[in-house]
Structure 1
Amino acid sequence: MKIAIAGFQHETNTFAPAKADYDAFASGGAWPPLSRGAAMLQALSGMNLPAAGAIEEARSLGHQVEPLSWAAATPSDRVTRDAYERIASQIFEDLEAQRGLDGIYLDLHGAMVTEAHQDGEGELLRRLRDRVGPELPIVVSLDLHANVTPEMVDLSDGLVIYRTYPHVDMAETGARALRLLHRLMDAGPGRGPRYKAYRQLPFLIPLTSGCTLIEPADSLYGQIPELEGGGVATLSFACGFSPADIHHAGPSVVAYGESAEAAGQAADTLYESVAGQETAFAGRILPADQAVTYAVERSAKGDGPVVIADTQDNPGAGGNGDTVGLLAELVRQRVPDAVIGVLFDPANAKRAAEAGEGAELQLELGSHSGLPGHRPLSGTYRVKRVGDGVFTCTGPFYRGARMRLGPMALLEIGGVEVVVGCKKAQAADRDMFRHVGVEPEAKRILALKSSVHFRADFQPIASEVIVAAAPGPNPVDHLALTYGNLRPDIRLMPMGPTQAAHRG
């Protein structure tokens, strides 16, 4: 059968300092740049991305793949109106050229907010349905952090969501979505697993608490395959993306089955399991000074590096990756054998690369986003290594990603090393450090601008992982965010006050 495939990914933090314009999608960085047609197949080949997995699965099932357009940008504030309209238009323009389609697969995130639409994916699906009608099956893969909306459910025939965080199963999720699409196409109009069940949870989940390498998420996601089978085609749990200030932000469960009863029963069972773990989702986090002090004490045992997650400036959640609060604390405590990265500072990365190894520079490093109360870390920095920012990742999360981070440098101040780059990318792969001469396994302390994805490649070498609350635009405590669009009855933190009660 003939399947059209397209992708448009963005995770929107509406509290972040910078928006995603068209160039953010067109230029690439951690993920491939915007591509269309045959170039899309080449750009995604071999990568841990949903569309790549879907393409491979479609071909293995003997289907004909028709690539439309694929684009992704690093998480940030809203997608600009210009970027959204241009990329959506490209998808539909390429779709218009297709004839005789049997199905459509979309690689979306599920937490895209634009300057004009709270629900970027729902709007895209609405426009798509207007063009192809109600009968053509449309199946979508979504990120584990999707804010699933009623419109997404109503306008698609299947939503299939990642089951790991770190997202090591992105390609596999694309393949699972394609298998669902195959079942729908094979069954024909009005038949197959077309019954849907959708449930929204009543509380927001902090990003760091949804990690599937720890409880309660490990057990919750582990039970999903046990609930599938029989009349249940697929079952998903989305943790939601709390930094998106929209009406339908938050976790949800969605199921698809051969009957309304089968889908509903599976959704209810999983919903009750998640709701029963609300207290466990609260998590634990240390202030920056305590996190550094503890890391120094713990690292003295010498059984592997201690990892500190600089979660509140995570580029993977909309931060710019340029705050220096944790770096300043490492320097203040004169921490030996520590490295932090990847700090986003294009001007100083280029300046260091031009100066060359061994140069000493007076720099105002980081904190160039204009966030209130943030200042660069001034001082004398020694350039230890430089790189061109071009390398291929080998870790489980970024596997196969062909990085294009621009000139990079390894700087040193007060005995602490800092990896600086020209493009935003969360530190989720050891090759980001190896590129500038750092062997992560040999360090005592690794401070990473990431929330959870780093665990896929760094947790196996870590003696312990600590989550730090250094100053940044992505606070773990949602009570610190000034929401204006959330449902009034949703709790801002597990077992915390509702939005209505918090606003008074």
Structure 2
Amino acid sequence: MNNKSVIAIFALCMLLISSCAKKEKKDLPKIAIAGFWIESSTFSPAKSDVNSFKQLRGDEIFDYYPFFGKDSTLRNQAKWVPTLRARAIPGGVVTKETYETFVSEILEKLKVNGPFDALFLDVHGASSVEGMDDPEGDLITRIREVVGTDCMISTSMDLHGNVTPELVKHSDLITCFRLAPHEDAMETRRRAVKNLLDRLESGKGKPKYKAWIPVPVLLPGEKTSTRIEPGKSLYAKIDPLTKQEGVIDAAIWVGYAWGDAPRNTATVTAYGDSKEEVAKAAEYLAKSFWDVRKEFEFVAPVASLHESLKAAIKSDKKPFIISDMGDNPTAGGAGDVTWTLAELLKRPEFKKADGPSLIYASIPGPKFVEKAVKLGEGAMIEAEAGANVDSRYSGPVKLKGKIEKIKHGDKHAETEVVVKVGSMHVIVTKIRKPYHHEADFTNLGLNPRESDIVMVKIGYLVPELYNMRGDWLMALTPGGVDQDLIRLGHKRIKRPMFPFDADMENPDLSARMIPLSNE
């Protein structure tokens, strides 16, 4: 073989390699990303508008998901087209105008950039929108009208979401968190993406069967944490089922207790390629849930505010954390109910500077903050805060004390003011903010570990606060996410429902096979 022949063969090989590489790249599936995420209470007078949401577009969406790093395996397995991810901290009902603004943008970007092989949909499942009973079902139905039925959709959700047949029909793959607190949030989203890619690359396409079972139980997250039993063992039953032949994934949703609509209930799903195994898995989980419904208890001891304060003052464990649960903004409370703070201000123990040290986090008061900024650190202030949105239980409270810290630039609160009132440090924010991390306090010059009492508007403690606690009580306080569900007065949920109908008969927990999106 002469040199010219060798060169020609080499050139041909390089051309074939290049062609294959181009073909491989060209054949990567085209997958869209979209998200709409909020948990919103229908029992709160608050409204969530466009400004309540953090909106991510383009590369910002990739940055949000750690598994989509530029050199990550999942990032390189497809041509990803991010549209919009709108997320808000929990709050009140979303205005219809806000919802339509986000949905319209998602749909328009899907139309312009399509067609798609698949779509990753990241939703909470507990949004409440003016005039709508099933916003997530509406969203995915309208997405289907744009992307068609050949496009495979994988939906990732919060376990406190709600799941309707419409949502399951249009979701070819659907999953949710398995931990509460949600330490597996990103792991769950990664699972949703991985399952989607596996079905595309294997050529197996959409799962053949999907089972859906509503379980007539509606309990708050503070009673269904997976830190303790029976939630811990119940959710541990999911993963082994996904290892069975014919089952791809299964999930249990607790549902959202502070939403009053027909869809608000616990739910179980399973999907895969074996009708028998899928149905069996779903029925097993549904029965397991129903069987332990009466065993769910609060994740920590609960008491009235008076009893909680009595125990905290008497305790020598620092910090003694008290959850001000009824107005918890991480569950959908307005965050500005002043009832608890008003009660604290009446207590003689906290009126003197040398009383028990207490940090109260927090109360929104934009006018208070504005006045404090004008006065500056070190000045004395007397002004009202709170009850701008939810004044049903108590009006604005007057805080009189010394401004110890003013901090600007927080991504939630915008501006935070620490005012010393007697022996209490009250944090007043321009915009409501949940306090989850030790740094939330230390950045304000506060030391929560050395405080006798730390009171936070939260339900069950997130891991960082949980690990920091000396002791902990959850106070049964009023608000838009009141833990006394009976007192709230649900009118539209499907009855009978446990615990509203405590002695109800056993329900039908047989699997309902949901049609595929193209059927």
Q: TM-score band, normalised by the shorter chain?
A: 0.7 to 0.9
2:473 is aligned to 466
How many Å separate the matches in 2 of 1:144 and 1:124? 19
Q: Does structure 2 conserve the Cα–Cα contact (< 8 Å) formed by 1:139 and 1:178? A: yes
Q: Does residue 320 of structure 1 match 2:334?
A: yes
The within-5 A match list for 1:270-309 is 270-283=285-298, 285-298=302-315, 300=316, 302=317, 304-309=318-323
Aligned to 2:425: 417
1:481 aligned residue (468, 476, 488): 488
1:35 is the counterpart of 2:56: yes
**CA displacement at 1:183 relative to structure 2:** 2.5
1:204–1:494 Cα contact (<8 Å) kept: no
Residue in 1 that maps onto 2:98: 83
Structure-2 residue corresponding to 1:13 = 41
Supply the AA of the counterpart residue of 1:38.
D
**Distance in 2, Cα, partners of 1:407 & 1:216:** 41
Identity, in percent, stands at 30
2:218 is matched with which residue? 204
1:122 is aligned to 2:142 = no
AA matched with 1:87: F
Q: Which residue of 2 aligns with 1:267?
A: 282
Kept in 2, the 8 Å contact 1:53–1:172? The answer is: no
Normalising by structure 2, we get a TM-score of: 0.85
Matching residue within 241, 262, 268 for 1:253: 268
Q: Which whole-Å deviations, capped at 9, do the CAs of 1:132-153 have from their partners, x for residues lacking one?
A: 2222110111111101111111
Question: Are 2:302 and 2:473, in contact at CA under 8 Å, matched by a contact in 1?
Answer: yes
The answer as to whether partners of 1:5 and 1:68 remain within 8 angstroms in 2 is: yes
Which secondary structure does the structure 1 equivalent of 2:341 belong to?
A: helix
- 1:55 and 1:236 mapped to 2: Cα distance? 30
Is 1:220 aligned with 2:249? no
Q: Distance in 2 between matches of 1:435 and 1:414?
A: 21
Structure-2 change in CA distance of 1:55 and 1:92 (3 Å)? farther
TM-score computed with the length of structure 1 as normaliser: 0.87
1:443 match: 451
Match of 1:186 among 201, 213, 236: 201
Q: Tell which deviates more after alignment, 370-379 or 163-172.
A: 370-379
CA positional deviation for 1:423: 2.0
Contact 1:153 1:198 in 2 (8 A): yes
**353, 373, 376: which one aligns with 2:393:** 373
1:134 to 149, 156, 166: 149
Between the aligned partners of 1:55 and 1:134, the Cα distance in structure 2 is 30
AA aligned to 2:369 is: A
Correspondent of 1:363 among 377, 380, 383: 383
Deviation at 1:62, TM superposition (A): 2.0
Contact 2:320 2:454 in 1 (8 A): yes
What is the aligned partner in structure 1 of residue 17 from structure 2? none
3-state DSSP class of the match of 1:316?
A: coil
**Using the alignment, how far apart are the partners of 2:439 and 2:503 within structure 1?**
39
CA contact (8 A) 2:34 2:121 kept: yes
Of structures 1 and 2, the larger Rg is shown by 2
Is the Cα contact below 8 Å between 1:145 and 1:240 reproduced in 2? yes
1:206–1:476: 8 Å Cα contact kept in structure 2? Answer: yes
Q: Deviations over 1:317-336 (max 9, x none)?
A: 22121123323333415251
- The corresponding residue for 1:346 is 366
User: 2:364, 2:428 within 8 Å by CA — same for their partners in 1?
Assistant: yes
Residues of 2 paired with 1:213 and 1:443: CA distance?
Answer: 26
Residue 317 of structure 1 aligns to a residue in which SS? coil
Change (3 A) 1:58 1:321: farther
Distance in 2 (CA, whole Å) between partners of 1:381 and 1:199 is 55
8 Å CA contact 2:383–2:399 kept in 1: the answer is yes
- One-letter amino acid of the counterpart of residue 176, structure 1: R
- Higher mean alpha-carbon deviation, 351-360 vs 119-128, is at 351-360
* Pick aligned residue for 1:235 from 247, 250, 265: 250
Deviations 1:5-40 (Å, cap 9, x if unpaired)?
011112121111211112222xxxxxxx21322343
Distance 1:256-1:430 versus aligned 2 partners, 3 A rule: same
Show structure 1 runs of 4+ deviating over 4 A.
Answer: 52-58
Uncovered stretches (5+) of structure 2, i.e. residues with no partner: 1-28, 351-355, 506-519
Are 2:325 and 2:476, in contact at CA under 8 Å, matched by a contact in 1?
Answer: yes
Which deviates further from its counterpart, 76-85 or 321-330? Answer: 321-330
